[in-house]
Structures are given as structure tokens and as C-alpha cells.
Amino acid sequence: VKISEIGEFGLIAHLKELVGPPADGEIWIGDDTAVLRAPAGTILFTSDLLIEGIHFDLDLIKPEDLGYKSIAVNVSDVAAMGGTARRALVGMGLSGEVEVEWIDRFYAGMRECCDDFGLAIVGGDLSRSDKLIISVSMLGNPAGRLFVQRKGARVGDVVAVTGTLGASAAGHLLLKASATEPEALIKAHVRPAPRAKEAAVLRRFIPTAMIDVSDGFAADVGHICEASEVGVLLDASALPLADLTGLGLSSGALQLALSGGEDYELCFTISPDRFEAAAAAVLEQTGTSVSRVGEIVDKGRGRVLLIEGDEEPLLAAGWDHLRV
Amino acid sequence: VKISEIGEFGLIAHLKELVGPPADGEIWIGDDTAVLRAPAGTILFTSDLLIEGIHFDLDLIKPEDLGYKSIAVNVSDVAAMGGTARRALVGMGLSGEVEVEWIDRFYAGMRECCDDFGLAIVGGDLSRSDKLIISVSMLGNPAGRLFVQRKGARVGDVVAVTGTLGASAAGHLLLKASATEPEALIKAHVRPAPRAKEAAVLRRFIPTAMIDVSDGFAADVGHICEASEVGVLLDASALPLADLTGLGLSSGALQLALSGGEDYELCFTISPDRFEAAAAAVLEQTGTSVSRVGEIVDKGRGRVLLIEGDEEPLLAAGWDHLRV
């Protein structure tokens, strides 16, 4: 069944089923706005736009994975503030040619991510569009009055990152080359795991600054750097590179780790006397490793400096959506 | 200067200037999420997607007007819940060819609407896109614990609407025919006035159901009807038609009023003993007229019935974004 056969209102009724019944005292799909209960006086509010041909290629990603990823990237943003994602609106621009079955699979993926991280889809907007457009807005709760900004890194702080870097970009290269394995690398790209549980452990150790790795590690650590008005000295040999041996990719593991992007790992800074305990707690409670990759320094304010044999400045070669 | 010359991060820095400094204790543009202070335990949450070629044609609307309208349509949704819009995220999909001056004018229009209705833009997301895409998400406060749903209309209630109907659709027809007047009709289309002040007065008189007129009056009153599980009997002769005499439009005033859409008037139902006082208060405090256009009835559950000479069923011929 095509979307054009059931129409906008038929689709809304269908989505209401897919989303499930609203939480007590809340109103979700079917009115002018969603009505939500906010427990705290502070709200985290974020949105992300995913566009066919720019952020994803429908030939390279299954609808379930695209759904999962659409929610995951926003959960990751909320986690990077040290918060917990709670409610989402999903706007979609769709061609009438889209099959309702595609929507069902896309929503199943979104629901799976929502279930994994304890949040719910509460509404959205539908529009006609030649290319598929996905716009997710999300509300989250901070941990009490605490939230972790990009601003706040201090000279002497440890720079650390969860998991590994470069797997998502490697997975993307593999997909474009029609490879179907290694599965772990492809999964890192099509179904990234936002580090919400890791953030919930980390925030108890009071990171001074935090960001999720979406543009590319060098660019993202650069954002912390600029916001905090400090420099960062990275040790290339300490970066937790994804294992890409024997894959014959056109880019090396270090390059993909630094500028690949879409890893959705957490990059944070923390006082040196808290780092070991924080890393141990994250590993123990979530199974995710945390690597010490550098230090906040007084020199090169706003710049990322890389030590690779000799110290040399690194171009923050991340992803800029608009520059040619 | 083109967007491609300043890049995503140059544009973010520029937008930060355009948006102005954050409210006390809040964090707006420049981190993973916005951090907001919510005064109440209940939040209204809505989003709208506007796509070039579907919702607007850049040859027919100035960037200031498009900016104003992008905010206004969401303010209208919050008003239709009886609430007050407070904070917005603006996602944009842009070609690198867009001029920074265009963005400045677009943001000036958004800011003007924000200033008119007491809200602020607090962040968003940027992406590359061939066609311009605008995604606005908005948070609003309800009036205390009260909000007005589509559900709630009772048999015997008066059906009423603010302002006039059909002006926006007429303005759209005129623009497509390269007409530049009557200005009031064109303005109704390119720079709709959301009825936030009217909603603030109305909610004191406890409307039983409310919706904003976006899909078309017949379709929108139909949404109240379905949600409330009642029928609606409309008096065609009582509809506040926009004055289209002498314009030679291909559609008549009644047809445009019923199915034109994008009027952003408030359609509401209210107990008959409260209607006169509510209408008088809205007129006195906002200058906007309120017309009694029909009655909620027991028959034709979920249907809109139109009295025009003889009573006959009316097809709810509103705008369906996805049906062919």
C-alpha cells in the first residue's frame, strides 16, 4: 500500500498505532501540539535534520536502521549534555510513492531505539517531498540541575573518549564499495549506539566539558577547545582506532578516526584526579572502554594540536555541511 | 557572500549574533542541546516542516515573510492548545549557493514574529540540501494546568471562528497570477497573523475544543468533529468570507473559505451561554471579530454538514499533503 492511497490523515492514524498509547496525563499524536509532563525546571531541547542523498542513501541503509539512527543521533546530543532523552517529535517529508510497509519498518527501528533508551515519540509533522526528509526534535531531562557543556574544560584536564573512533566512517566506505562485512563496522555506521548509559555514569564524576563525536573527532574536540578557550594536545598513539587491518580502505585508520565523523562516542574533559575512577566505573557499569587521548593546554588557544612523532598542528578536518 | 564561503561553523557563529544573547540561566546556540528553564510542569511541544516547492515558492515570498511565517505557523499551533509559545529550534537545509544576506533577511522575519509573540529562537541544526528546508520545533507553556484539545466539543456547543476565512488561499492564487494587490489578501498568505492574543483571551471562557485553521476550515472543523465524536452543522451564510469581489478568481469565496487552508484562524467550540461574552471580550481586547458559524450536533458523527439553502453533506475538502 502506498502512502498516496491512505493519505496524510490515514497515515497519521496509522502512526498513532505504531507509536502506542500516550503516557498518563500526556497527549501525543493527534492534536495541535503534544502535551507533556516535565518533572524538572530545566529542559534540554535539540533537533536534527536528516536528508536523503546528504545524510543517507536509501540503497545503503535499511528502514529499520535509518529509524534507529534518526532517534540515536538526538539521544547522543542529549547524552553529551549529561542528560536523559525523554520525548521526540518526528517530522517526515515523504513522496506519495513510499510504501506503508517502509514506514512500518522505519518506525519499528525508531521504536527499538526509543525502547533501548527509555524515550517516546509523541508527535510530529508530515509533508510531501520528493526526497525523504527526517526531522527529529527531542526533549531531555538534565541530571537534576547539572548539565555538561562544551564550555568548561580547564588547563591540565584529561581529554578522553569512549569506545573507538573511525568505525562509522570505515563502515560507510565499505557500504559504498558494496561490502557487507565486517558487520561491526557497517553496524557502527547504520545503527550507531548513543552513549546514554555511559553519560549517566560519567556525569557523577563531573566532566568539565563534553560533546558527542558527530562531525569528526578532531572537529568535535575543536568545538570543546573553542568554547572553553583552551588548546588541546592529542596523542595520536593513544587514540582508540577502529581495527581496519586488511580492508584496503582508501583512508587510513588515523585519518578516519580524526575526521571520519558519526562515531557518536562521547569526548569529554575531566580533572586528572577523577579520570581513572570515571573510566573504571564506565567500563564496569556499561562494558564500554574509555581512553585517555590527550590533555587540555594553555597554548594554541582554540586549536587542536596533534602529537604524532613530532608535535605538529592538526587541521581540524571534520565535516562541514555547507562549505564546498 | 555565499554560505559555502563561510561554511557551517561560520554560519552558526553568524546565527548566534542574529539570535541575540540567551535568557538568564539558559544556553542557546552553540552546544549539543539548548538548555531551557520551564516554569510549569506541563509543556506543549510541536514542530512543522516547510519545504521549497511544496509549502513555498521562493519567487513568490520574500525571505522576511518566509521567516515570519515559519515561526507563525508554530505559534498558531501552540495558541490552538490555549498556550503561549516560548522557545523555538530552527533546522535549515540549505544550498551552499544561498547568500548570507538571504539568511539575514529570513532571520529578521523570524525575529520579528518572535518579538511580536514573546518567544525566542534557541538553536537548531544546519544541513546541506538542494531545496530549502525549514524545520521549526517549538515549546510552549499552557495556561496553568489548562489546555484546549480538539477533543471536548459537546452536542449543543456553538462552533465559532476568529477573523475571516479564504483570504490566504485567495492571496496565494493572486501571487501565482503575478498580482501584487489587494495587499491584505497577499499579506494573509505570506505573513499570517497567528491568533495567540485571541487564544489568551478565549481560554478564560473555557472553549470545549479548539484547532487552528491550516488544512482548510472544513477539514479542520472535521478534525474537531472526529476527535470529539460528534457532528458539526455549519451555516454557510454565517461563514466570515474574505471579500473577493471583482478579483475574478477561479474559485469562489465560499469554496476558498471551506477548503483553502492556511488561514491560521482559531476554530473553537464553546457552551452557548459563554459564546457572546467570549466573542465580545476577544473583539474588545484584540480587535479581532469572532463569528458563530454553526453548532455541534448528535447526527453525522465525525462529519461536517453544511447548510446552504437545503441541508446537504459537505465533503471535508481540505489539504491532504500526501494523497494524490
- Please indicate whether, in this complex, the C-beta atoms of B128 and A54 are within 8 angstroms of each other: yes
Interface of A with B in 219-258 (CB under 8 A): 227
Compare A270 and A31 and report the one with higher pLDDT. Answer: A270
Buried b (16+ CB within 10 A) or exposed e, A130-157: ebbbbbbbbbbbbbeeebbbbbbbeeeb
* Alpha-carbon gap, residue A145 to A140, rounded angstroms: 13
- For B3, the closest chain A residue by CA position comes to A322
Question: Position of cell 483571551?
Answer: B201
pLDDT band at A39; cut points 50, 70, 90: low
The Cβ-side half-sphere exposure at B89, using a 13 Å CA radius, reads 34
Per-residue pLDDT band for A199 (boundaries 50, 70, 90) equals very high
Query: Which of A31-40, A229-238, B218-227 is the least confident region?
Result: A31-40
Closest-approach residue (CA) in chain A for B147: A35
Helices (H), A177-322: 183-190, 196-202, 217-228, 253-259, 272-286
Distance (Å) from the C-alpha of residue A198 to the closest C-alpha of chain B?
16
- pTM for this one? 0.92
- Nearest CA-CA distance, residue B246 and chain A, Å: 34
**Chain A: residue whose CA lies nearest to B94:** A322
Of B31, B41, B149, the CB nearest to A150: B31
In this prediction, residue A228 has a pLDDT band, given cuts at 50, 70 and 90, of very high
DSSP H helices, chain B, are 3-19, 63-80, 100-117, 167-176, 183-190, 196-202, 217-228, 253-259, 272-286
pLDDT at A110 over 80: yes
Confidence band, pLDDT 50/70/90 cuts, at residue B174: very high
What is the percent of chain B where pLDDT is above 90? Answer: 65
What digits encode the pLDDT tens for the residues A117-151? Answer: 999 999 989 999 999 999 999 999 888 767 899 99
Considering only CB atoms, which chain A residues are within 8 Å of B38?
38, 40-43
Q: Is A35 on the interface with B (CB under 8 A)?
A: yes
Give strand ranges (E) for B115-176: 120-128, 133-141, 158-162
How confident is the prediction for chain B on average, in pLDDT?
90
> DSSP labels for B170-214?
HHHHHHHTT----HHHHHHHHS----HHHHHHHGGG--SEEEE-S
Calculate how close chain B gets to A8, using CA atoms only, in Å: 5
Question: In Å, how far from its chain's centre is CA A162?
Answer: 13
Which carries the bigger pLDDT value, residue B313 or residue A283? A283
pLDDT reported for residue A27: 83
Q: What is the pLDDT of residue A80?
A: 96
pLDDT for position A189: 97
Q: What is the mean pLDDT of chain A?
A: 90
**Quick check: B49 and A8 CB within 8 A?**
no
Q: What is the pLDDT of residues B42-101, one digit of tens each?
A: 889 999 999 999 999 999 999 999 999 999 999 999 999 999 999 999 999 999 889 999
Residue B216 in this model has a pLDDT that exceeds 80: yes
ipTM exceeding cut-off 0.95 for this assembly: no
CB A160 within 8 A of CB A269: yes
Selection from A296, A318, A301, A151 nearest residue A219 by Cα: A318
Confidence band, pLDDT 50/70/90 cuts, at residue A195 = very high
Position B54 scores a pLDDT of 92
Q: What is the pLDDT of residues B252-263, one digit of tens each?
A: 899 899 989 999
B-chain residues within 8 Å CB-CB of A80? 32-33
Asked if B103 has any chain A CB less than 8 Å from its own CB, the reply is no
Mean pLDDT of A223-251: 89
Query: Long-range contacts made by residues B321-324, C-beta under 8 angstroms, separation at least 24?
Result: B321/A8, B321/A126, B321/A127, B321/A128, B321/B54, B322/A3, B322/A4, B322/A6, B322/A7, B322/A8, B322/A11, B322/A94, B322/A96, B322/A126, B322/A128, B323/A4, B323/A5, B323/A6, B323/A7, B323/A8, B323/A96, B324/A4, B324/A96
Task: Tell me which of A255-264, B27-36, B115-124, B188-197 is least confident.
Answer: B27-36
pLDDT for A324 equals: 45
CB–CB of A82/A152 below 8 Å?
no
- Phi and psi of B297, rounded to 5°? -125, 165
Contact B207, B283 (CB under 8 A): no
Predicted confidence (pLDDT) at residue B324 exceeds the cutoff of 50 = no
The mean pLDDT value for A290-318 works out to 74
| Look-up of cell digits 564561503 | B5
Output DSSP code: residue A146.
B
Residue with more model confidence, B38 or B267: B267
pLDDT of residue A312: 56
